[in-house]
Chain A
């Protein structure tokens, strides 16, 4: 997944700001799996995820002028657009988070399956590396990142004391960093 194999990030940004459709096509090929993965994980809904992905790339195309490379990498910027767009949809639709959470069983493993954090076979490169995270750590990260849950919501869903959410989250993120940053 080395997106800079052909273009450096600077070249990419320059080409995109010049509205080069070839570069945009390259950008799509490089980033659409990651962004699509985010959308699918947020929405838990493969049928609408395609339209949302198209919408996200339209936003990227339209808002390129507003991307500021001094504030962060292009991928970070695009991920935030994808995540925010998908979470907006999740929250605005009939997806009433509160209700969902209230109706959730207490058992972490059931919650886990409802929020669909377990990897399916078609996830790209989802490897044994991630198995070094505990199931609880992945659920924590996924609820926060993919579902946009607050600490209170996470405490309720996972049935853990509010005070320990922060601590466990820190541990999970630190573990993630240890596993992935080589």
Chain B
């Protein structure tokens, strides 16, 4: 279309009234860019339309200006305007709610981006803390384990020490008689000692050297009272053998002896299995 045709087609009038179709708008704007005469004609119509609008102007309430400037001065990111759809610039046409939507959308997107970045930073920080924490936790747990084992060992030593202390006290007690029991002819290597307090009637046994018995057998201590054997109880071997073991009580005895019996002890000593025996001195 040549410029004159555009001017007389009537499209310009419809365009100015805001009633042209999208296609007519595109054609006219292309013609305006191409032909200054068309652009001038549109401008002349536009000025008359704008004068018509201006003549119907109305003074707004004065406080609106105050509110506007308050809002402007509280406005962040002034340089970042939301995009105005292009038709806002030139085209007197109805636009959809898109512009106001894009406004809130943009704010939301900005807020979301800020939150995302913040979250990533915090994730990084917390992940590092978590890693550190996990290291510490592992260290703590291994420390706890070793502390427990030290503690149990220490308890063991403490118990041992107390037992030794107890043993020492018994041995050192002047009222306690020490009765060494050397090995018999059949077991010359064997040796054991009885510590006897005739006053309190307490009897303790210390294994010096006795062969470890089989699982179904146990050593038994006897006191010989007026020629008759009296059961003084069975005793443990192994670790316990290094300690003084408390036996049954007796107020009277001329001799002590140890025999190997079935587990739990026997009523009468098996003489062939007598390992050690010793007379009370004096």
Per-residue contact bits, chain A 13-36, to B (CB 8 Å; 1 contact, 0 not): 000000101001100100011101
Question: Given the interface contacts A72-B89, A145-B18, A173-B45, does A37 sit within 8 Å of B99 by beta carbon?
Answer: no
**Smallest Cβ-Cβ distance to A58: which chain B residue:** B71
Q: How far is the CA of A162 from the CA of B188 in the complex (A)?
A: 139
Per-residue contact bits, chain A 92-129, to B (CB 8 Å; 1 contact, 0 not): 10000000000000000000000000010011111101
B59 at interface by CB-CB < 8 Å:
yes
A181 at interface by CB-CB < 8 Å:
yes
* CB-defined contacts of B72 to chain A, threshold 8 Å: 21, 24, 58, 61
B67 at interface by CB-CB < 8 Å:
yes
**Smallest Cβ-Cβ distance to B19: which chain A residue:** A144
Interface residues on B, range: 35 or more
* CB-defined contacts of A62 to chain B, threshold 8 Å: 75, 78, 81-82
* CB-defined contacts of A134 to chain B, threshold 8 Å: none
Partner of B92 from the list A80, A125, A127, A154 (CB cut-off 8 Å) is A80
* CB-defined contacts of B95 to chain A, threshold 8 Å: 84, 87-88
Q: How far is the CA of A84 from the CA of B100 in the complex (A)?
A: 11
Q: How far is the CB of A98 from chain B (nearest CB, A)?
A: 14
Cβ B10 vs Cβ A166 within 8 A? yes
Q: Which residues 12-58 of B sit at the A interface, judged by CB distance below 8 A?
A: 13-14, 16-19, 44-58
- Residue among A36, A140, A167 with the highest chain B CB neighbour number at 10 A: A36
Q: How far is the CB of A155 from chain B (nearest CB, A)?
A: 11
* CB-defined contacts of A169 to chain B, threshold 8 Å: 13-14, 17, 19
B84 at interface by CB-CB < 8 Å:
yes
Q: Is the interface of B mostly helix, strand, loop or mixed?
A: helix
Q: How far is the CB of B53 from chain A (nearest CB, A)?
A: 6
A6 at interface by CB-CB < 8 Å:
no
Cβ A33 vs Cβ B94 within 8 A? no
Per-residue contact bits, chain B 60-97, to A (CB 8 Å; 1 contact, 0 not): 11001101110110010011011110011111111111
Cβ A37 vs Cβ B45 within 8 A? no
Could you list 7 A-B pairs, sorted by A, with CB under 8 Å? A1-B54, A34-B53, A76-B46, A84-B88, A119-B56, A170-B10, A176-B48
